[in-house]
Chain A
Amino acid sequence: MANVADAPKDTFRLSMLLYDTRYRSLTIQVFVFFLFMAGAAWLVDNTMRNLEALGKDFNFGFLWNRAGYDISQRLVEYTNDSTHGRAMLVGLLNTLLVALLGCIAATVIGVIVGVLRLSKNWLVGRLMTVYVEIFRNVPLLLWILLIYAVFTEATPAPNAFRPNPETGLADRSMFLDAIAVTNRYTAVPNSVFSRELGWLDLGLFYINIDVLAVLAAAVLGWWLNRMVKARATRIQNETGVRPATWWSSVLLLLGLPVAVLLALGFHLEFPELRGFNFVGGLNVSNSFMALWLALSLYTGAFIAEIVRAGILAISRGQSEAAFALGLRPGRTMSLVILPQALRVIIPPLISQYLNLTKNSSLAIAVGYLDLRGTLGGITLNQTGRELECVLLMMLIYLAISLVISAVMNVYNAAVKLKER
């Protein structure tokens, strides 16, 4: 007892901050923190002073002013009378569209190529290696420009589809009378409903109620199908005989949405050449096609490598065991290998999705008006609000990236090895 009380008093001396290992790390952290704060303060102060010297203020009021320029691809209502804020929204949606479709296509390409690259077929394996190496090792910008150049230089102008007044024949004819690939856009049929249910006002934009109805039918069908299957499993567990569910699945998953489509008078509107351009259908611009294809092929090559690595990470014993159980190679892949490989695949896959999304800002090279093109391009330029636009743009990209990571992390948590 007495010993404890007699323990030498721990007197604190200032030099201990530096020489005592118990305090040193704290000292260093505080020091670095102050340096960091001082640096940040200097940056902010410098910016403010310089803005003042230039006579510029810092405010976002311009977002409510009339934009005055037109955007050819817009997913929501927009005219040149709309505000800069609205133009930003149009750009943001264009970014999200190309990013989403790009991620989907890149994943499909990546999984197929990654699996095929391990194929025992020599030719297939080598072809996939060539694809991966070519796309991985040439800068993305060049791919975008190359694909864009192919689209604009190697395809005919819309005019070539016009019948010659004398012979009645055109230089080019549409594919299946429905699709025309031109040097401006690819004209494809548009889906329309002859029974309009109107539009749902969501404040920022409108949603077609017909589309909502079809989506609702699809979700309802999927949910009912799950109930039917659950019931079948229950019966199977009780009686050992599984009732046939395929016909109800077909009816629910396909029949229900199709019935709603038919009821709403769904049909396709085909593009036709009128005046200078194709009208009636949907004109998918070449800048979108080039950007989308290049992003998908480029990122697909990286994803292929990730998928291959994921598969190779699963020990041979697993597939041998599966073969021993009599599983065919295809089922071995889908039931045994891939589910385990996903654990290895998902984390690097997230970075690829983030890369693709951020790379989509290369859209500027082909004049695709994404967020960088509207907010960070024309709006920035016409209003001269460099700082505001760039900060806002960075914030938005950051937010998109964080959302993607969050969603993917949730998915990762779902597939990862459950350790107890």
Chain B
Amino acid sequence: MKKSVFLGTLTVAGLAAGLGSAATLDDVKARGELNCGVSTGLTGFSLPDANGNWTGFDVALCRAVAAAVLGDGTKVKFVPTTGQTRFTALASGEVDMLARNSTWTFSRDTDLKLDFVGVNYYDGQGFMVRKDLGVTSAKELDGATVCIQTGTTTELNLADWFKVNNLSYTPVAVETNAEGEQQYAAGACDAYTTDASGLAATRAAFADPENHVILPEIISKEPLGPAVRHGDNEWADVVGWTLNALIAAEEYGVTSTNMEELAANSPNPEIRRLLGVEGDLGPMIRLDKDWAKRAISVGGNYGEIFAATIGEATPIGLARGLNAQWTQGGLLYAPPFR
């Protein structure tokens, strides 16, 4: 089936092409490739390297799903989407899922006919300014020019926050993070605002990260997670439980290196069910027994992925914070595998 998104009038045609198939799982299997909507480029989350290989935290989730469904984590076509095009791309069927720092909100989950199937990063919106401005709090930004990405929750939060705090500002609308970075670096805006993780990633990509500060205020809740089309529950289960498998694997200490050994020797029934040695969870979501094993083997469990892409050892240097396991005081909590 020909699937392409034409913005504008052709959205209609796009809708027509994308539909007719509520069963995304069958489509993906038949196609032998997963179409995954990612950002146009955000260091640590989704960015193609010099050889065109996509890497990052969001990318790892796409690869895990591809491995679970197709048995191969490389069978992914990454489709870069901007804040403005991402939901149309999903609704029209150009992509099978979104893993693109997208915030789970009420209206997106209901009115926009998406289904968020979990949270892979608990975030909040922050501000970044140049150090030499001497600003130490976002409350000092009265009259400032602020760069924001359009089509995001960011621009709505910003309007609300400045209004509540009785401050004025001039918005400069940008389409992608790269454009925002460039405008901010050129001094066309005093402050850049987006999800705090995005700020850290953006700052890490600067030549002079030490000259920029991220202000202490976090002005919103941004649960970022993968989304699929509303109404395809089977596919939603596959994506959601793949994410849960990565999170649960970390909780039970299953890593990409000890996985085989644990599958063979672990007495823990939860681990045995997760790895498909016991019970048949896989067939319940129309996959085989080893689905979770394959998902974990691509980039490791949630913790391994986090550490390799955005963790404290990387230039982005994000602490686990809210994204630690519930057993470590964080919010990550995978439902039981039984």
Residues of A within 8 A of B175 (CB): 364, 367
Q: Is the CB of A72 within 8 A of B171?
A: yes
Interface string of B155-181 (1 = CB under 8 A from A): 110111011000001111111000000
State whether A72 touches B172 (Cβ < 8 A): yes
Assess whether B151 is in contact with A367, with CB atoms less than 8 Å apart. no
Contact with A along B1-33 (1 / 0, CB 8 A): 000000011011001100100100000000000
CB distance from A255 to the nearest CB of B (A): 40
Stretch at the interface among A17-25, A42-50, A300-308, A313-321: A42-50
Inter-subunit contact A378/B150 (CB<8 Å): yes
A129, CB-defined interface residue at 8 Å: no
- The CA-CA distance from A184 to B174 in the complex, in Å, is 13
- State how many angstroms separate the Cβ of B225 from the closest Cβ of chain A: 18
| Per-residue contact bits, chain A 16-34, to B (CB 8 Å; 1 contact, 0 not) | 0000000000000000000
Q: Which of A265-316 contact B (CB under 8 A)?
A: 274-277, 279, 283, 286
A157 on the B face (CB < 8 A): yes
B189 at the interface (CB under 8 A from A): yes
**CB <8 Å contact, A383 and B11:** no
Whether A50 and B19, one on each chain, are in contact in the complex, defined by CB atoms closer than 8 angstroms, is: yes
Q: Is A15 an interface residue (CB 8 A)?
A: no
Determine the interface band of chain B, counting residues with CB < 8 A from chain A.
35 or more
Closest chain A residue to B187 by CB distance? Answer: A157
Q: Are B183 and A80 in contact (CB under 8 A)?
A: no
B273 contacts partner chain A, Cβ-Cβ < 8 Å: no
Output the nearest chain B residue to A384 by Cβ-Cβ distance.
Answer: B112
The residues of B that contact A152 with a CB separation of less than 8 Å are 183, 186, 188
Contact call A390/B8, Cβ cutoff below 8 A: yes
- Hey, which chain A residues are within 8 Å of B15, CB to CB? 47, 50-51, 54
Asked if A382 meets B16 with Cβ closer than 8 Å, knowing A55-B230, A72-B171, A277-B145, the reply is no
**Contact at B170–A382, with CB atoms within 8 Å?**
no
Q: B83-91, B210-218, B326-334: which lies at the A interface?
A: B83-91
Tell me the nearest residue of chain B to A279, going by C-beta: B143
Bound-complex Cα distance A93 to B93 (A)? 35
CB neighbours of B87 from chain A (8 A): 381, 384
List the A side residues contacting B229 at CB < 8 Å: 54
How far is A71 from B170 in the complex, measured between Cα atoms in Å?
8
Name the CB-closest residue of A to B189.
Answer: A184
Cα distance, A394 to B12, chains bound together (Å): 14
Q: Does B144 contact A (CB under 8 A)?
A: yes
Q: Is B278 an interface residue (CB 8 A)?
A: no
Chain B nearest Cβ from A353, distance in angstroms: 22
Cα–Cα distance between A69 and B145 once the two chains are bound (Å): 15
For A, the interface residue count at a CB cutoff of 8 angstroms equals: 46
With known contacts A152-B183, A275-B142, A378-B155, A50–B172 Cβ distance under 8 A? no
Selected contact of A367 from candidates B143, B169, B172, CB within 8 Å: B172
Contact A184 B83 (CB under 8 A): no
Decide if A5 is an interface residue (CB 8 Å cutoff).
no
Task: Report whether A383 and B111 are in contact in the complex, using a CB–CB cutoff of 8 Å.
Answer: yes
Give Cα distance in the complex from A382 to B105, angstroms.
11
CB distance from B256 to the nearest CB of A (A): 38
A355 within 8 A of B: no
Q: Using A80-B163, A275-B143, A276-B143 as known contacts, say yes or no to A70 and B171 having CB atoms under 8 A apart.
A: yes
B279 at the A/B interface (Cβ < 8 Å)? no
The interface bits of chain A over 41-85 (1 if a CB of B lies within 8 angstroms of the residue's CB, else 0) are 001001100110111100000000000111110000001110000
Q: Which residues of A contact B16 (CB under 8 A)?
A: 46-47, 50
With contacts A70-B171, A377-B84 taken as known, whether A50 is within 8 angstroms of B145 at the C-beta atoms is no
A382 and B19 CA atoms in complex are apart in Å by: 22
Q: Within 8 Å CB of B156, what residues of A?
A: 68-69, 382
A369 at the interface (CB under 8 A from B): yes
Q: Which residues of B contact A276 (CB under 8 A)?
A: 141, 143-145, 190
Residues of B within 8 A of A257 (CB): none
Is B272 part of the binding interface, using a Cβ–Cβ cutoff of 8 Å?
no
CB distance from A290 to the nearest CB of B (A): 12
B75 at the A interface (CB under 8 A): no
Q: Is B320 part of the contact surface with A, judged by Cβ < 8 Å?
A: no
Q: Does B113 contact A (CB under 8 A)?
A: yes
Q: Does B269 contact A (CB under 8 A)?
A: no
- A159 in contact (CB, < 8 A): yes
Chain B residues within 8 Å of A56, by CB: 113
B170 to A, closest residue via Cβ: A72
Give which listed residue, B12, B91, B150, B230, contacts A47 with CB less than 8 A.
B12
Q: How near does chain A come to B2, taking the closest CB pair, in angstroms?
A: 15
A367 and B145 contact, CB distance less than 8 A: no
Beta-carbon nearest neighbor of A71 in chain B? B171
Contact with B along A360-381 (1 / 0, CB 8 A): 0000100101000100111001
Residues of B within 8 A of A184 (CB): 145, 170, 172, 188-189
Give A151-187 as 1s and 0s: 1 = Cβ < 8 Å from B's Cβ atoms. Answer: 0110001010000000000000000000000011000
Residues of the A chain whose Cβ atoms lie less than 8 Å from the Cβ of B9: 390-391, 394
**Contact of B151 (CB < 8 Å), options: A43, A382, A390:** A382
Residue from the set A79, A382, A383 with the largest chain B CB neighbour count within 10 Å: A382
Q: Which of A50, A55, A376 has the most CB of B within 10 A?
A: A50
Inter-subunit contact B11/A390 (CB<8 Å) = yes
Nearest Cβ on chain A to B24's Cβ, whole angstroms: 13
Residue of B at shortest CB range from A367?
Answer: B173
Which B residues lie within 8 Å of A378 (CB)?
A: 150-151, 155, 173
7 cross-chain pairs, A with B, having the tightest CB-CB distances, nearest first: A384-B112, A157-B187, A381-B151, A80-B159, A367-B173, A275-B143, A50-B15
Other contacts beyond A68-B160, A286-B188, A382-B151: 9, CB < 8 A: A47-B16, A54-B113, A55-B113, A56-B113, A184-B170, A184-B189, A279-B143, A373-B173, A377-B151
Give me 21 A-to-B residue pairs in the complex whose CB atoms sit less than 8 angstroms apart, sorted by A's number: A50-B16, A56-B113, A79-B163, A80-B160, A152-B186, A184-B145, A184-B172, A184-B189, A277-B170, A364-B175, A373-B150, A373-B173, A377-B84, A381-B151, A382-B156, A383-B111, A384-B107, A384-B113, A390-B8, A390-B9, A391-B9
